Structures are given as C-alpha cells and as structure tokens.
Amino acid sequence: MSSEEVRFLPYEEAVRIVAAIQEEEDVHQPDHRVLTVYNKDDKEICWFDFDELIRDLGPLDKSEEKEIVSDYIMHHIPDWALDI
C-alpha cells in the first residue's frame, strides 16, 4: 500500500478560496469540537480536530489563540480543496 504525501496550497491561494472557519460540535462525539473550513460557495472544504490542533500547536495565550489557529489552518489547506 502506498501513501500519498498531502500537499498544501500556498497561503495566498488558501486565502483566496476560504470564506470561513467555523467551530462546530462533532455530530458523532458530544463535547468534541472540530473546525470546519468552508469555501466561498459555502461548501465544506475540510475540517480539523480542535484538540489535536491545540496539542500540535502547544500552549497558546487565549488572546492569540484564534489568530494562531486560523493562520495554522490557512497554511494547511490541502491542494485538492481546489477541486471542490
């Protein structure tokens, strides 16, 4: 089995297609949050597990959390998002 490496859009391209990052509750796991990314056509592009993302980023100052998380996500939009 081969695994393909995920490639990410350049930040400028991600900014062009992303309209919103919405915090939502996971419908399958109560009290579990996900961050869903939507494009300008209001279609879901991808999602991020909030707990995993915070764990990967390390401790964050609450006043900067939203900006840092948004920036991380914008740098990690998969290139296949252009096909949606």
Helix ranges (H only) for the chain are 11-17, 50-57, 62-74
- Whole-angstrom distance, CA of residue 21 vs CA of residue 23: 7
pLDDT computed for residue 31 by the predictor: 87
Give pLDDT tens digits along the chain (84 positions). Answer: 446 788 999 999 999 999 999 999 888 888 899 999 999 999 999 999 999 999 999 989 999 999 999 999 999 999 999 998
What is the pTM (predicted TM-score) of this model?
0.88
3-state DSSP assignment of residue 29: coil
Q: What does the block give as tokens for 59? A: 């401790």
